[in-house]
Amino acid sequence: MNRLFVILALAMLSLGTASAQFVYTRPAGDLEQLCKAQRWMEKGCWRQGFQKASPHRTVNALDFYEQYKKNPQQWKAMFRWLSQTDVTALPKGKTPIPGTSLVASVEDSSNGPLETRQSESHYKHIDFQWAVKGKERFGIIEHTTSKPNCAYRPDVIHYDYDLEKARFFDSNPAEFFIFFPNDWHIAKVNNDTNDQVIRVIVIKVDYIE
């Protein structure tokens, strides 16, 4: 029980509650609902047999819980497919997930300097990103000090942001990231090693209002 309280305290801070100084994701206004979402995520009923990776600590548990409940067919199909597929053996490119409109993008790519990477968010889709080889550095930018620098176009918008307030996290194959519309993020940033080669699985799940 003490562990849950610690997790919830960290989650409330990361979700940008009224008492927090900065905002990085959708704020949680209902502590009881947040507790329910956190317990659901930890229990793992969503996994559909997928045990290869777990949510990174930045994943918004409330968004995950609510979007899964609103769109169970896609989420279940995605995790079932991930549980049954050796994604390290797939060819580079797009692989349809059978029985769904979902497509897994298998990206053999490289990280790059931060100044060459754009921040972004999406309105209609949720980014599931799992770096299965190599170490990808992700950035998450702060909302109140950021502003769009372009028009919204086919489900992407970019931002100018305060670098000092951005948070950066390195991936590992045992964790996946999920970026919901309120998670303004930067992908494929150079890590601190000499190896920037990565393989990333990206799946865009429909966002349900």
Give CA angle at 28 (22, 34), nearest 5°.
Answer: 135
* Rounded Cα–Cα distance for residues 49 and 44 (Å): 9
Q: Which of 67, 162, 63, 182 is nearest to 120 (CA)?
A: 182
CATH number at residue 55: 2.60.120.370
CA-to-CA distance for 33 and 154, rounded, in angstroms? 32
Query: Would the pLDDT of 40 be above 80?
Result: yes
Find the radius of gyration of the CA atoms of the chain. 17
Contact 141, 166 (CB under 8 A): yes
Q: Name the residue range of residue 29's domain.
A: 2-206
Number of domains in the chain: 1
Question: What are 65-123's pLDDT values in tens digits?
Answer: 999 999 999 999 999 999 999 999 999 999 999 999 999 999 999 999 999 999 999 99
CB 128 within 8 A of CB 176: yes
Predicted TM-score (pTM) of this structure: 0.90
* Model confidence pLDDT, tens digit, residues 151-202: 999 999 999 999 999 999 999 999 999 999 999 999 999 999 999 999 999 9
